[in-house]
Amino acid sequence: MGKRGKKTNISSIKERFWGYTMIAPLVTGLSVFYFYPVIKVFFDSFRDVGAFNQGDWCGIRNYQELFADPVMWQALGNTLKYVVIIVPGMLLLSLILAALLNMNIKGRSLFRVIYFIPAITMGAAVAMIWKWIYNGDYGILNQILQLCGFEKIRFLGEEATALPAVCVVCIWGSVGYNMIILLAGIQGISKTYYEAAAIDGAGGIRQFFNITLPMVTPTLFFVLITNLIGTFQTFDAIYMLVPNTSMAAGSAQSLVVYFYRNAFSYSRRGYASAIAVVLLAIIMAITAVQLKVQKYWVNYDE
Amino acid sequence: MKKKVLALLLCVGLAAGGLGGCGEPDAPGKETPEAESGEETISGEVHMAYWAIEFDGYLNRCIEEFNKIYPDIKIVLEPAAWDEYWTKLEAASTGGSVADVFWMNGPNVMKYVNGGVMEPIDGYLENSDIDLNRYPEGMVQLYHVNGKQYGIPFTFDTIGVWYNKKLFDAAGVPYPKDDWTWEEMVDTARQLTKEDKSVYGMATQLEAQQCYYNTIFAMGGEVISEDRKSSGFDKAETQAGIQCWVDLQEEEISPSLASLAETAPDVQFLSERVAMLWYGSWFVSAVEASDLVNDVDVVELPSMNGNKGTVIHGVINAISSASENKEAAWKWVEFLGQEKANVICAEEGIIPALEGTPEKWVSAHPQYNLQSFITSAENYSYAYPVSENSAVWERPMIENLKKAYCLEVDVKEACDTIAKEMNEALAKE
């Protein structure tokens, strides 16, 4: 709109200067720690990079190898399983909890704090505790199972149970944080809707499904997107709970864990970069679809 | 306004600190000109990375002695867990922030030499009283790459069978002797295994150095040919050295592989769940620190068809080629190779490498049959099998052996697959 002016006046230059200066720290940080690595990873995915960053161009060989690699497909499958189990499970639980903690119950603040604790605990520490809970020889979960007359289950050591066991930890760890966000969304809903509904004779459940749920969809959408991306990148819980030596390592390994092992354990950074690029493409595609589909279920009406 | 100024000052301070942080430390007493022999003026900070936290006692005592000679060199220890050590070391080497001195082992030495991360020490050795002939030849050779020496071995290790005397007594089983056989060992393990599985006779670990490399050597097989050009896994003798472990898998005289993966074998041994454990000589310090200090002993590995074999391996202190303080780093490495540090090593429970000091290790811990490790090192030890890029074939080796141990595929099939993949990898080296 300023295009038509013959000269950019002094105050506008000043304004621009300060504008750019103000965002400079952030932009520098982002460039160094986000944009540069993304570009570098993209380049490296076409190089045969080994230990100590030595390597040559190799064209699309990394990608050819990638698509023929059964372990990669298994890791991708595992990642999708994580997403399909964790995201809905977490959404449902945190929505229920948020709705419950929005009601007038005794010790409400205390409960909020308790449910939020996992969110401020370090992931590695959480995983260590769960590792002991799940332990097949000494774990408390197995002690309880045995007391009840069941067989021991080696949760993290068997192919069938390792992945669900990790999912439980992930859900447990993220429910509190998402609950707080949803709670904020729920509290933003105007009381007048509820008052009107109450006058019309709607009960609590009816109010939840007809007022709370539709009105909280923008928040829900935000939580969905962030968690979908986050779950695709699940790493710490898997890395800590199911180490490479475990019998179930292959069946619990997500794409990011496989990326990490290639880059840092097997010194195949070029190949690892290709994995990262594929993962980025998948996440971008799914997020794009989400943004398109949102208009069918997200309610932005005032 | 005040705040602004303060923030600015802080920023400048940070920037300056970041720039100058790697330079020489500003030790206040540095310029005192009283040093007599010239050498003692060397100063600076030397960071040291290593993977065994149980070596802390040894290293701290060494630092104390070292600082009596070089009071101005500050040694900063950077311990890491074994699993993370190599990841960290490689990342730090790539980023140029690797410790000045770091531990290096056989399987990784060629990779780090080829990566240009390690500094050859030949030049330093010329002006030193260190005589490489006084260290085990195999160990010195392991770290002699492309005509250059990359370190002085400060420790070596072999494998033995550690056993829990209490559990033997409880089961009424006689203690093993150094001349026992594999069959006797299996039989002993059967007798020690309790019916309710609260105690297992032994642990059939999927571990190369502690377990199957030893039986491969005892059976007369090889992991890799002498010229490091081809795999030994297609040889019948090698496969027999694997088969003996797989045969035990069905017997239930050991915790399952899944259990051993979840709770480490040495932890299960020290928790008295496993009565016999194939493990290295480095275990002494952990045993001495445990509740079982007086209830444990060790014997030589059992013979198989009349033959024995054990893996011998040793670690060096390598100097980083990126170090800004190589002179001080060398002084520390040199000290760790000398008599005094080797004796401390012996006393702290680790076999020292210098000629004449391993005996001190044996006599410093008279309650254990440590002579067995020295005997095995002298009489039937085999160098840890390595090639230029061992990690590339070690991974398929472990993956395929895992399948064999789980009885998913038979040993011959698994080993033939390993041989094929290994030969492909070796051809690329």
Secondary structure (DSSP) of B39-52: GGG--EEEEEEES-
- pLDDT at position A6 is 52
B251 to chain A, minimum CA–CA distance in Å?
Answer: 19
Average pLDDT, chain A: 89
Has residue B302 got a pLDDT over 60? yes
Collapse the DSSP code of B278 into the 3-class scheme (helix H, G, I; strand E, B; otherwise coil) and give the result.
strand
B199 to chain A, minimum CA–CA distance in Å?
Answer: 12
More confident residue, B184 or A102: B184
The crossing angle, in degrees rounded to 10, of helices A159-187 and A108-120 is: 130
d(CA B276, CA B203): 7
Judge contact between B202 and B185, C-beta under 8 A: yes
Asked if A54's CB is within 8 angstroms of B262's CB, the reply is no
Establish if A286 belongs to a structural domain. Answer: yes
- Amino acid in the structure at residue A288: A
Establish if A64 belongs to a structural domain. Answer: no
- pLDDT at position B34 is 40
Establish if A23 belongs to a structural domain. Answer: no
Q: Which chain B residues have a beta carbon less than 8 Å from that of A247?
A: 257-258, 261, 402, 406
- What pTM was computed for the model? 0.81
Asked if B406's CB is within 8 angstroms of A247's CB, the reply is yes
Of the partner residues B91, B257, B259, the one whose CB lies closest to the CB of residue A264: B91
Question: What are the C-alpha distances in Å from B19 to residues A86, B16, B38, B45?
Answer: 45, 5, 29, 16
**Which residue, among A90, A84, A94, has the nearest Cα to A286 in the 3D structure?**
A84
Has residue A11 got a pLDDT over 60? yes
Q: What is the CATH number of the domain that holds A287?
A: 1.10.3720.10
Question: What are the C-alpha distances in Å from B309 to residues B119, B210, B219, B281?
Answer: 33, 11, 8, 15
Which residue has 């620190």 as its token pair?
Answer: B289
Secondary structure (DSSP) of B259-270: HHHHS-HHHHHH
Helical spans, DSSP H, in chain A = 10-30, 36-44, 61-67, 70-101, 108-120, 123-134, 140-147, 159-187, 191-199, 204-207, 213-215, 217-232, 236-241, 249-252, 255-260, 269-293
Q: Range with the lowest mean pLDDT among A91-100, A242-251, B278-287? A: A242-251
β-strands B144-145, B381-383 pairing:
unpaired
d(CA B357, CA B336): 13
Asked if A51's CB is within 8 angstroms of B262's CB, the reply is no
Residue of chain A whose Cα is closest to the Cα of B87? A264
d(CA B225, CA B100): 34
Average pLDDT, integer, range B398-419: 92
Judge contact between A94 and A186, C-beta under 8 A: no
Question: Which superfamily does CATH assign the domain made up of B43-156+314-363 to?
Answer: Periplasmic binding protein-like II (3.40.190.10)
Residue B10: which pLDDT band, with cuts at 50, 70 and 90? very low
**Which residue, among B351, B410, B403, has the nearest Cα to B381 in the 3D structure?**
B351
- pLDDT at position B19 is 37
Tens digit of each residue's pLDDT (9 = 90 or more) over B13-50: 444 433 333 333 333 333 344 444 445 578 889 999 99
Which residue has 């200090």 as its token pair?
Answer: B293
Of the partner residues B94, B263, B406, the one whose CB lies closest to the CB of residue A53: B94
Average pLDDT, integer, range A55-79: 91
Judge contact between B231 and B396, C-beta under 8 A: no
- The conformational region for residue B281 under phi > 0 = left, psi -120 to 50 = alpha, else beta, is alpha
Asked if B87's CB is within 8 angstroms of A265's CB, the reply is yes
Secondary element (H or E) of residue B379: helix B371-379
Residue of chain B whose Cα is closest to the Cα of A265? B87
Burial of B108 (0-12, 13-18, 19+ CB in 10 A): buried
Establish if A183 belongs to a structural domain. Answer: yes
d(CA A266, CA A272): 10
Has residue A53 got a pLDDT over 50? yes
Radius of gyration of chain B (CA): 24
Q: Which residues pair with B316 in a beta bridge?
A: B104, B153
Asked if A245's CB is within 8 angstroms of B90's CB, the reply is no
Tens digit of each residue's pLDDT (9 = 90 or more) over A79-129: 999 999 999 999 999 999 998 888 888 888 898 889 899 889 888 899 999
Share of chain B above pLDDT 90, in %: 56
Instruction: Name, in order, each residue with C-beta under 8 angstroms of A195's C-beta and a sequence gap of 6 or more.
Output: none
A296 to chain B, minimum CA–CA distance in Å?
Answer: 47
Residue A298: which pLDDT band, with cuts at 50, 70 and 90? confident
Which residue has 């001349």 as its token pair?
Answer: B179
Secondary element (H or E) of residue B102: strand B101-104
Establish if A230 belongs to a structural domain. Answer: yes
Backbone angles phi, psi at B299, to 5 degrees: -130, 170
Secondary structure (DSSP) of A58-120: -TTHHHHHHHT-HHHHHHHHHHHHHHHHHHHHHHHHHHHHHHHHTS--TTHHHHHHHHHHHHH
d(CA B336, CA B340): 8
Backbone angles phi, psi at B127, to 5 degrees: -100, 25
- pLDDT at position B29 is 39
- pLDDT at position A123 is 85
Domain, as residue range, for A164: 72-296
- Structure token digits, residue A30: 């982002």
Of the partner residues A54, A154, A265, the one whose CB lies closest to the CB of residue B258: A154
> Which CATH number does B159-312+371-428 carry?
3.40.190.10
Judge contact between B107 and B391, C-beta under 8 A: yes
Asked if A267's CB is within 8 angstroms of B391's CB, the reply is yes
Count: domains in chain A: 1
d(CA B264, CA B283): 13
- pLDDT at position A265 is 82
**Which residue, among B253, B283, B282, B251, has the nearest Cα to B267 in the 3D structure?**
B283
Average pLDDT, integer, range A266-284: 91
Asked if B263's CB is within 8 angstroms of A51's CB, the reply is no
Is there a shared CATH topology between the B43-156+314-363 domain and the B159-312+371-428 domain?
A: yes
Establish if A187 belongs to a structural domain. Answer: yes
d(CA A252, CA A78): 6
Q: Which chain B residues have a beta carbon less than 8 Å from that of A69?
A: none
Share of chain B above pLDDT 70, in %: 91
Radius of gyration of chain A (CA): 24
A257 to chain B, minimum CA–CA distance in Å?
Answer: 14
Judge contact between B318 and B104, C-beta under 8 A: yes
Instruction: Name, in order, each residue with C-beta under 8 angstroms of B390's C-beta and a sequence gap of 6 or more.
Output: B107, B108, B110, B111
d(CA A158, CA A252): 10
**Which residue, among A31, A92, A84, has the nearest Cα to A231 in the 3D structure?**
A84
Establish if A287 belongs to a structural domain. Answer: yes
Asked if A265's CB is within 8 angstroms of B261's CB, the reply is no
End-to-end CA distance of chain B: give it in Å, rounded.
Answer: 64
Selected residue of B205, B254, B262, B406 to mutate for chain A interface (largest A Cβ count, 10 A): B262
Q: How far is CA A292 from the centre of its chain?
A: 20
- What is the domain partition of chain B in residue ranges? 43-156+314-363, 159-312+371-428
ipTM above 0.90, yes or no: no
- pLDDT at position A10 is 78
d(CA A169, CA B376): 47
- Structure token digits, residue A142: 């197995």
CB atoms near residue A98 (< 10 Å): 26
Residue of chain B whose Cα is closest to the Cα of A261? B87
